[in-house]
Amino acid sequence: MAVIDRVLVGEGLVIENRPNGSDSLDLKNVAHIDLIMGPRGSAAEDAFCRTLTDQKEGVNGLLAIIAPNMMVKPNTVMFNKVTLRNTKQSLQMFGPAQRGISMAVMDCVADGTIPVEEADDIFICIGVFIDQTADMDDRIQDWNYEATKIAIKSAVAREPKAADLLKVYKDSSHPFAAKNKEDRNRRVADTAISQMRHRNPFNVTPRATDPADVAVSEMRERNPLTPSKG
């Protein structure tokens, strides 16, 4: 029986404080993933095709790739949830966000979350949040990697369950919820992040290094039509 036999929905949020001991949340580089996935013939495949072909100014769909000429499997399309207004923001979408998301998808195949025998016939659509003030490419890449993996694993596990939510939703906290006082907002944000980590066993330690610096070399080795420098 197929593991991914219907349209599945998942989401993932990753955020920490600003670096250098700051006590404020890093809202500039926060990663929030919205995801749908499903098998061939499902609404997820229809959404995949519409997202990839319905391009608009400031809103783009792009295939997730590990490196040039190396598209991920399952077929994955990314779309931005914030209007792309400049080259820097576009490159963050096409660069670190794409790399982090693509690696997360493939790692979920490698660890068996997505069965490899089903991967060629699954379609994934991923909504990506990149703030227009984002300023740390390493966090964009690492946090979108983590958030995507959270979303995929939650979707495949069909979590959270409605019965479980009923037990905890009234006592939950949201890091961005409206609050009356700044100090209360800070405490609630800290509580929300702690709850997020406790709820989610899928967080991973960001990778210390990234092999993206050899991507062009790998592309040349894979593609005999690419001329080498003589």
Give whole-number Cα distances, 225 to 72, 101, 110, 215, 228, in Å: 21, 28, 29, 16, 9
Residue 83 · residue 77 · CB < 8 Å: no
Q: How many residues appear in the chain? A: 230
Low-confidence winner among 40-44, 50-54, 156-160, 219-223 (lowest mean pLDDT): 219-223
Residue 45, pLDDT score: 98
CA–CA dist 229, 144 (Å, integer) = 35
Task: Identify the helix (H) or strand (E) that includes residue 83.
Answer: none
> pLDDT digit string (tens) for 159-173?
999 999 999 998 888
pLDDT at 207: 45
Which sequence spans correspond to the domains of the chain? 8-221
State percent of the chain over pLDDT 70.
Answer: 78
For residue range 19-36, list pLDDT tens digits in order: 987 778 999 999 999 999
pLDDT beyond 90 at 191: no
pLDDT of 128 reads: 96
φ, ψ for residue 9, nearest 5 deg:
-125, 140
Give CA angle at 192 (209, 179), nearest 5°: 125
Share of the chain above pLDDT 90, in %: 63
Helix, strand, or coil (residue 122): strand
Determine the Cα–Cα distance for residues 114 and 106; give it in Å rounded to an integer. Answer: 9
**Rounded alpha-carbon distances, angstroms, from residue 218 to 75, 87, 110, 191:** 21, 26, 20, 44
Helix/strand/coil for 24? coil
Q: Are 97 and 128 in contact (CB under 8 A)?
A: yes
Is pLDDT larger for residue 13 or for residue 218?
Answer: 13
Preceding amide of 211 cis, omega within 30: no
Kindly report the pTM of this predicted structure: 0.80
Asked if the 8-221 domain carries CATH number 3.30.230.60, the reply is: yes
Catalytic residues: 32
pLDDT score, position 171: 87
pLDDT given at position 220: 52
Which pLDDT does position 193 carry in this prediction? 63
Q: Which residues partner with 12 through β-bridges?
A: 33
